[in-house]
Structure 1
Amino acid sequence: MHHAHGGLSRRVSLIHPTALVDPAAELADSVAVGPYAVIGPRVRIGARTQVGAHCVIEGDTRIGEDNRIFQFASLGAAPQDKKYAGEPTRLEIGDRNTIREFCTFNTGTVQDAGVTRVGSDNWIMAYVHVAHDCVVGDQTVLANNATLAGHVQVGDHAIIGGLTGVHQFCRIGAHAMVGFGSHVSQDVTPFTMVDGNPLGARGLNTEGLRRRGFSPARVAALKRAYRLLYRQGLTLEAALAALDALAAEGGEGAGDVRALRDFVAASRRGIAR
């Protein structure tokens, strides 16, 4: 933990003398903090994370290890929610994330679980907004100006294009890809490519799946599932039954088809078709 009046250790040299780090903040010895950064009393930061110049990290915020936070990010500020009345809510960020300039991640609200959560190994570009109560998984890419409203869920390996807005309570499934400038007001199913305004499904994210090591058999099963859901004019009820039958056939892709089916069945806002 850093104390401003401690001896001249290697620790002190990693925190720029102009940074304002509250004595109650808990920073691992290997955390680097750039000039004019402000870190509040309820912030905990793990080993080797780098905090750039002019960042403000406040609120009840826990940040893991090996993150690179670029200049001018604002993490842990109060939610942009008129109902928020100062309740104790949190922001949790995992490990090995890249968080670029001018990102704004807010703490949660008591109307939800009270926590905004960003996982690990995410590539988050400049001007990204992660609102209160969002849950972002691992290995995602959020391009410049991707904007997540409150309570949005983003699955592992999802990619959200630049200048894309996601309506509150929407879910974006694992391995989905949302093209730039899209208006997302319904759920985006896993493994799917969507874009536009109004949003439309454009196909299976086959290239992304291949890059992540999906076998040809898994991709083929998902192609069949995609056709059932999007291309055969089935009602949602009929499509779910058809996906059940496809998953029941077994084989390598059965788990993927089941995941897709369960995501659709759990949708409260409807899926983008």
Structure 2
Amino acid sequence: MNQPLAYVHPGAKIAKNVVIEPFTTIYSNVTIGEGTWIGSNVTIMEGARIGKNCNIFPGSVISAVPQDLKYDDEDTLTVIGDNVTIRECVTINRGTTDKMKTVIGNNCLIMAYCHIAHDCIVGNNCIFSNNSTLAGHINVGDYVVLAGMTAVHQFVSIGNHAFVTGGSLVRKDVPPYVKAGREPLSYVGINSVGLRRRGFTTEKIREIQDIYRMLYQKNYNNTQASDLIEAEMEATPERDEILQFIKNSHRGIMKGYFKSN
């Protein structure tokens, strides 16, 4: 680690085999796990908890104070899991009194110039492509892919295994297993390619397609469709996950392409 041109506050807890490149600044109240590499010109501010075997590229700023006028210097955190790659000039802000932390799960790839605001909770195995931006208080499930220049509105939820096409404006909740595209953002199918890559069987993919066909391609409102799905389709973890997501949606789920938005 011994880089005379990097500044590491004596109050930071750094594992022995962490590599910190020149011109990086690490504040007090920071923890960095084993095997992590911190590139040059990175700033890691108070409240950062960074896991093992992460790679943080030059220009990134981790755990800066929230861009929220209500923030009043509360003692909050940014928690980053293991095996996370954070590319150039990414900014991740720490939490506010809402959740007291911003969280990035394990095995995520956050590409260059992404911004993740305060109180976002991001699951495992996510990929955020270049310039994707999360406003505050957003929940993102596991295996979510945001293509480049996606902008997500505050308080939105995105379900597990969802794929959002590039340049999208995400104003409504995106249910699990779907592809979201067009403007305004709409259901354009299920994420069958991603599901196959992750070992979902043809039968399971067909089951998920049938659920969303009933939700988005019939003339039912969300309540009617949910009741029919529950009554007519066999109970499975995927079915129940989709129904629970719809039930818990605060902003409302995105529409189907052929419905009025």
TM-score by length of 1: 0.92
Name the structure 2 match of 1:27: 14
Once residues 242 and 55 of structure 1 are traced to their aligned partners in structure 2, the CA distance between those partners, rounded to angstroms, is: 52
Q: CA deviation at 1:85?
A: 1.1
Alignment partner of 2:239 out of 257, 270, 273: 257
Q: CA deviation at 1:202?
A: 0.5
Once residues 240 and 15 of structure 1 are traced to their aligned partners in structure 2, the CA distance between those partners, rounded to angstroms, is: 58
Name the structure 1 match of 2:39: 52
Q: CA deviation at 1:246?
A: 4.3
Q: Secondary structure at the match of 1:95?
A: coil
- The amino acid that maps onto 1:38 is T
Q: CA deviation at 1:196?
A: 2.7
Q: CA deviation at 1:243?
A: 2.1
- The amino acid that maps onto 1:271 is I
Once residues 78 and 231 of structure 2 are traced to their aligned partners in structure 1, the CA distance between those partners, rounded to angstroms, is: 41
Q: Secondary structure at the match of 1:238?
A: helix
Name the structure 2 match of 1:71: 58
- The amino acid that maps onto 1:143 is S
Post-superposition CA distance 1:152-196 (Å, at most 9, x none): 111100100111100000001100000000000100000000013
Call closer, same or farther: CA 1:201–1:88 in 2, change over 3 Å.
same
Name the structure 1 match of 2:259: none
Name the structure 2 match of 1:244: 230
Name the structure 2 match of 1:11: none
Q: CA deviation at 1:130?
A: 0.5
Name the structure 1 match of 2:200: 214
Name the structure 2 match of 1:37: 24
Q: Secondary structure at the match of 2:231?
A: helix
Name the structure 2 match of 1:10: none
Name the structure 1 match of 2:100: 114
Answer yes or no: is the 8 Å Cα contact 1:67–1:98 preserved in 2: yes
Q: Secondary structure at the match of 1:201?
A: strand
TM-score by length of 2: 0.96
Structure whose CA Rg is larger = 1
Q: How many equivalent pairs are there?
A: 255
Once residues 39 and 196 of structure 1 are traced to their aligned partners in structure 2, the CA distance between those partners, rounded to angstroms, is: 41
Once residues 15 and 81 of structure 1 are traced to their aligned partners in structure 2, the CA distance between those partners, rounded to angstroms, is: 36
Q: Deviating runs (4+, > 3 A) in structure 1?
A: none
Aligned-residue RMSD, C-alpha: 0.9
Name the structure 2 match of 1:5: none
Once residues 101 and 143 of structure 1 are traced to their aligned partners in structure 2, the CA distance between those partners, rounded to angstroms, is: 12
Percent identity reads: 40
Q: CA deviation at 1:17?
A: 1.1
Name the structure 1 match of 2:78: 91
Answer yes or no: is the 8 Å Cα contact 1:225–1:246 preserved in 2: no
Name the structure 2 match of 1:3: none
Post-superposition CA distance 1:107-129 (Å, at most 9, x none): 0011x111100000001100010
Once residues 246 and 95 of structure 1 are traced to their aligned partners in structure 2, the CA distance between those partners, rounded to angstroms, is: 41
Once residues 96 and 50 of structure 2 are traced to their aligned partners in structure 1, the CA distance between those partners, rounded to angstroms, is: 19
Post-superposition CA distance 1:17-66 (Å, at most 9, x none): 10000011000001000110000011000000000000000021100000
Q: What 5-or-longer segments of structure 2 have no aligned partner? A: 256-261
Once residues 165 and 135 of structure 2 are traced to their aligned partners in structure 1, the CA distance between those partners, rounded to angstroms, is: 17
Call closer, same or farther: CA 1:35–1:246 in 2, change over 3 Å.
farther
Post-superposition CA distance 1:46-102 (Å, at most 9, x none): 000000000000021100000000111000100000111111111100000110000
Once residues 154 and 174 of structure 2 are traced to their aligned partners in structure 1, the CA distance between those partners, rounded to angstroms, is: 13
